[in-house]
A and B are shown apart, each in its own frame.
Chain A
Amino acid sequence: MIFRRRIDVPAWGWTTPFGELENLRRQMDLLTEGMTRGLWRETSPGVFPLMNLTEDKDNYYVRAELPGLKAEDLDISVTADTLSIAGERKLPIENEKVKYHRREREAGTFSRILSLPAQVDTGRVDAKCVDGLLSVILPKAEAVKPKQIAVKAS
């Protein structure tokens, strides 16, 4: 019964025959906007390494791809609202006499500072570098954590 009503009597209030078409177009715009936002949100800062910053309720997570680097090669420091990562990537050469077909990997130094969206608890920051992937867990400071506010029924 409800289904029939939807087809016969449009309930979303269009006034012209083109109203529905306009509505459809607007929804398509929203859809494409949502898609491109999700896929192409990354912006390049022009500084190595590229990082992804995510958050959940308690922590911020910073991740960077650093193939070939170990935790001890990295110099990570953190203040209440910045994180800095520096290091050097070396490409060990075992044999000087090799002939190259391709040489796309690069060596060099890097140093980057990242501003965090809010204060973090510097004492509990944890960083690990596994399989060339650095992940830093930064617990949010208690003061900036979202708080549940109970509404009292009087």
Chain B
Amino acid sequence: MADTENKALQAKEKLEITGQAEQSRPGLVFNPTVDIFETDNEITLMADIPGAKAEDLNIDLHDSLLTLEVDVKSPEEPDEEDIFREYRTGKYFRQFRLSQVIDQSKIDAELKDGVLGLRLPKVEAATPRRISVRTS
């Protein structure tokens, strides 16, 4: 990290997803930038989702496919008029396939200042996997 301490940040446009096949609602969809790192015990995912509120966040882990979906409301009031626009706002969407088995019951998500921190604890290899069958 030391080498980047004094680096000047570069302006980057948000990466828009256009290839997504189906969308139920109109609007722009962006790929959030993420860091994913792991230790022996857990995988951590940090995602930049500025403007997002905790209640708009939808995190789903299903068959080792982690889906991140965030609905960001436009901060502009309806009577505001654009003078210029350098970035656009919209949904964030990204999916990851996790190679490790995650202990779903211990997943912890925290949203702070527009950064999502997701802790995904690995299932201990020694313990046999418990599969709880839920009756709905």
Contact = CB atoms under 8 A, between A and B. Distances in A.
Task: Bin the interface of chain B by size.
Answer: 35 or more
B7 A132 contact: no
Nearest to B38: A99
A95 B39 contact: yes
A101 B43 CA distance: 10
Interface in A90-141: 91, 93, 95, 97-110, 117, 129, 131-133, 135
B13 A50 contact: yes
A73 to B, nearest CB: 9
| A-B pairs with lowest CB-CB distance, top 4 | A132-B114, A132-B50, A67-B114, A65-B50
A118 to B, nearest CB: 10
A132 B12 CA distance: 16
Contacts of B22: none
Interface stretch (B71-79, B102-110, B126-134): B71-79
Interface string A42-81: 1111111111111111001101011111100000000000
Contacts of B114: 65-68, 131-133
A135 B75 contact: yes
Interface in A19-63: 41-57, 60-61, 63
Interface in B49-77: 49-53, 75-77
